[in-house]
């Protein structure tokens, strides 16, 4: 993989020699999702002596717990190799409802809704992962300098050569951007998911878990079974809070099928992943308590209003988040 060096602006020659100064290469940024593909891509780029100038993760703050544990490991790996790593988060500027929220979980609870995928849309990644990365890069000096030279910032995407990622790539390749040149090295190398796993294992690193928000409608039943109790309680809370406003879907899994119900709450109850009494207590009490908190927050001066995280801390403490 070679760095782009095209520039629209014409450099001025050195006064003493009359020769043109070299054009700096465009900066390279790896969009790191903490999953198998992007981890294998990162490892292989470093091994080839082509480490990116920046590794960037957009964090919605509701990834599965094991993903955050893996992020700690890979962050230390990057630091030991002198590769800059940044985690960025979306910061809303306007709020439809109060109190203010600063992560996806607080967003859906504040607005009494579900993540967009459960409503038939796919805007979560755009809002909570891609947008904060773009915002960071707009202020990143190497990117600003490249754009001033007429260059595009090179963005590396971890789509592999499997059929599923081929469909994602086919769609992404149709989107033009005057600021970024997207590249897909795994596809250039012909690597599928198995090759990515083998590359991670060859580097003596553990294979990362599947990256996913634990309130995502794309979660599989086995993934829900593997969640800790405190995540299950929050799933129940999200569905209970949104329930009065749902018209076209049943819950996070949208609609019931032969293999699973539309509501993750029903699955958690059926599988006895939490005591039935605890499930019923959350459904009966938590949404009403949250509404009272929101109503009280609306009466407090703007600069002093509590955030949704304040109520969530109380909710988690009352139900024993440590379990």
Nearest to 83 by CA among 55, 122, 43: 55
Local structure of residue 227 (DSSP, 8 states): S
Residue range 48-64: average pLDDT? Answer: 97
Confidence grade of residue 91 (pLDDT, cut at 50, 70, 90): confident
Q: Which tops the pLDDT comparison, 279 or 302?
A: 279
pLDDT at residue number 297: 85
pLDDT over threshold 90, residue 16: no
Q: What is the pTM of this model?
A: 0.86
For residues 264 and 273, is the Cβ–Cβ distance under 8 A? no
Q: Which of 105, 140, 111 is nearest to 29 (CA)?
A: 140
Look at residue 122 in the predicted model and tell me its pLDDT.
Answer: 75
In three-state secondary structure terms, 288 is helix
- Per the CB < 8 A criterion, the answer to whether 223 and 212 are in contact is yes
pLDDT at 254 > cutoff 90? yes
What the chain holds in terms of domains, given with CATH numbers, is: 28-97+121-202 (3.40.50), 221-319 (no CATH)
Question: Is residue 105 very low, low, confident or very high in pLDDT (cuts 50, 70, 90)?
Answer: very high
- The CA-based angle 263-238-219, given to 5 degrees, is 55
Q: Give the per-residue pLDDT at 5.
A: 43
pLDDT for position 175: 83
The pLDDT confidence band at residue 172, using thresholds 50, 70 and 90, is: confident
pLDDT attached to residue 124: 84
25 and 4 in contact (C-beta within 8 Å)? yes
Inter-helix orientation angle 193-202/36-47, to 10°: 50
Integer Cα distance of 255 and 247 in angstroms: 11
Asked if residue 2 has pLDDT above 90, the reply is no
DSSP string across 40-81: HHHHHHHHTT---SEEEEE--S-B-HHHHHHHHHHHHHHHHT
pLDDT tier for residue 6 given thresholds of 50, 70 and 90: very low
Contacts of 159 (CB under 8 A, 6+ apart): 37, 165, 166, 168, 169, 172, 184, 186, 187
- Amino acid 245: pLDDT: 93
Given a cut of 50, whether residue 322 has pLDDT beyond it is: no
Asked if pLDDT for residue 8 goes beyond 70, the answer is no
| pLDDT (tens digit per residue) in 64-80 | 999 999 999 999 999 99
């Amino acid at each position: 993989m070679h760095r782009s060096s095209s520039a629209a602006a014409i450099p001025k020659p050195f006064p003493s020699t009359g020769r043109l100064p070299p054009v700096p290469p465009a900066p390279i940024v790896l969009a790191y999702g903490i999953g198998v593909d992007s981890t294998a891509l990162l490892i292989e780029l470093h091994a080839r002596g082509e480490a990116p100038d920046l590794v960037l993760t957009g964090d919605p703050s509701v990834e599965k717990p094991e993903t955050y544990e893996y992020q700690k490991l890979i962050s230390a790996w990057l630091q030991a190799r002198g590769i800059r790593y940044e985690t960025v988060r979306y910061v809303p500027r306007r709020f439809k409802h109060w109190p203010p929220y600063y992560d996806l979980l607080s967003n859906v609870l504040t607005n009494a809704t579900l993540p967009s995928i459960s409503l038939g849309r796919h805007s979560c990644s755009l809002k909570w992962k891609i947008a904060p990365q773009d915002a960071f890069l707009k202020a990143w000096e190497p990117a600003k300098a490249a754009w001033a030279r007429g260059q595009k910032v090179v963005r590396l995407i971890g789509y592999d050569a499997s059929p599923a990622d081929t469909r994602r790539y086919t769609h992404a390749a149709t989107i033009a951007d005057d600021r970024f040149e997207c590249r897909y090295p795994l596809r250039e190398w012909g690597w599928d998911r198995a090759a990515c796993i083998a590359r991670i294992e060859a580097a003596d690193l553990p294979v990362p878990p599947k990256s996913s928000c634990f309130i995502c409608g794309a979660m599989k039943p086995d993934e829900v079974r593997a969640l800790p109790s405190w995540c299950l309680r929050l799933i129940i809370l999200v569905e209970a809070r949104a329930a009065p406003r749902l018209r076209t879907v049943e819950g996070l899994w949208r609609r019931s099928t032969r293999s699973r119900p539309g509501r993750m709450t029903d699955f958690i109850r059926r599988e006895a992943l939490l005591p039935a009494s605890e499930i019923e207590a959350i459904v009966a009490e938590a949404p009403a308590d949250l509404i009272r908190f929101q109503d009280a927050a609306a009466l407090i001066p703007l600069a002093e209003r509590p955030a949704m995280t304040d109520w969530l801390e109380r909710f988690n403490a009352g139900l024993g988040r440590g379990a």
